[in-house]
Each structure stands twice: as C-alpha cells, then as structure tokens.
Amino acid sequence: MLHCNSGVKQKTTNQFGWKDKPPEYFERDNPGEKIEAEGRFCELFVIGLHLVADNTVDQVDPKQWEFLVIPTTDLTERNKTMVLTKALTRWNRIKWGNLRSTVEAAIYSMVVQNHITNG
C-alpha cells in the first residue's frame, strides 16, 4: 500500500513478488495441488493507494483510498517491481465502492481467457 504523509510519499515502487520457488507453506496448506515452479503465485494484485496529503487526511476513511487491480497477465514475466507513476498510467484507479465488482470482473475475464486458451 502506498500512503502519503504531509505530501511525502512513503513508497513509490510496487513489489510484484516474483519468486524462484513456491512458498514453503503451499504444499502443507494445499497437499497435491499443482503450482508453477516459479512465479508470482497469485492471479492478480490489489494495490491500495492513499494519496491524500492535505488537512483532511484520514487513513481509516475508505472514501480516501483508491486501488489498482492488476492481473498478473498484464505484467512482464520475472519483472519484480514497477514505479508507481507508470502503474498509474497503465491501470485505472478504483474507488472503494467499486473494488469488489472490479476484482470480480478481473477474475471472470481470467476464467474466460483461460477457458478460451485451454479449451
């Protein structure tokens, strides 16, 4: 998540978590489940943005948050990071009230694409 505090950005690079091997807990929690040998081990990222930097700042107010919903298929393989300014130009900012429907639409799109690709 990215927070602003008095106009100073706390974090300006998003981490997209490319890993060389699956998390150690995966086999324990998902016995027999197939998983890729390396990768991000998720289907999409939801990045929270709190960019309010004036005297109305209230991090517990969901109306002050925006989100980026980023399918991993939109990311370059093995790319581990992206500068926030680039991410803001590639994906739409989503308000809290639209986050659920946006995530559901992204999942539906991935399922349809997977069905088309894999028959």
The domain spans of the chain are 2-15+45-118
Alpha-carbon distance 1 to 49, whole Å? 6
d(CA 60, CA 82): 26
| Burial class of residue 41 (count of CB atoms within 10 Å of its CB; 0-12, 13-18, 19+) | middle
Each residue of 50-94: pLDDT tens digit? 988 889 999 999 999 999 999 988 888 877 777 888 888 999 999
**pTM, two decimal places:** 0.74
3-state class (DSSP) for residue 90: helix
Q: pLDDT-based confidence at 5, cuts 50/70/90? A: very low
- Percent of the chain whose pLDDT exceeds 70: 83
pLDDT at 33 over 90: no
